[in-house]
Amino acid sequence: MTSGRGRRIAFDYGQARIGVAICDPDGILATPLPHLLATHPKVLQQIISLIDEYQPITIFVGYPRNMSGEPGKAVELVDAFIKSLQSLTPIPIVSVDERLSTVSAARKLRDSGKSSRESRSQIDSMAAVTILEAGLANENE
């Protein structure tokens, strides 16, 4: 079920920060981008700038679920974020289960030798990398 050649972008939406990741046009390498501040008054304009710059064919958004698979506490915030994106772009938006994405990101950063202080600013975008990788894997199933 591959969507074809083209970049994909992923967002890990949080109340404070939004992690961002992008992949190459072949969907092989997912790379973190600097996180965005969710409370910044122009955050949606920043997202549109990223979309304009990278021209993704799909947008993946991490969807919060608890370990039982039920929607998590932040689902209403993420739903509002997705609605905002849908009003700004015709690009397909796909929700991706984000269970354990932050745990996985923290592990990757720790394994790479980053201190918890160093990784704090990178964790959200590394979680977006995990979401992007999961979205790409789902496309290839």
Q: Does 62 map to a domain?
A: yes
Give tens-digit pLDDT for 22-67.
999 999 999 999 999 999 999 999 999 999 999 999 999 999 876 6
Q: What is the number of domains present in the chain?
A: 1
Q: Is 2 among the domain residues? A: no
Expressed as residue numbers, the domain containing 75 is 8-139
CA nearest 12: which of 55, 54, 63?
Answer: 63
- The pTM assigned to this predicted structure is 0.84
CA distance 102 to 98: 8
SS3 label, residue 109: helix
pLDDT in tens, 76-125: 899 999 999 999 999 999 999 876 555 565 566 566 665 555 556 677 88
Q: Looking at residue 71, what DSSP letter applies?
A: B
Asked if residue 3 belongs to a domain, the reply is no
Give the domain CATH number at 77.
3.30.420.140
Q: Which amino acid is at 46?
A: Q
Is 110 domain-assigned?
yes
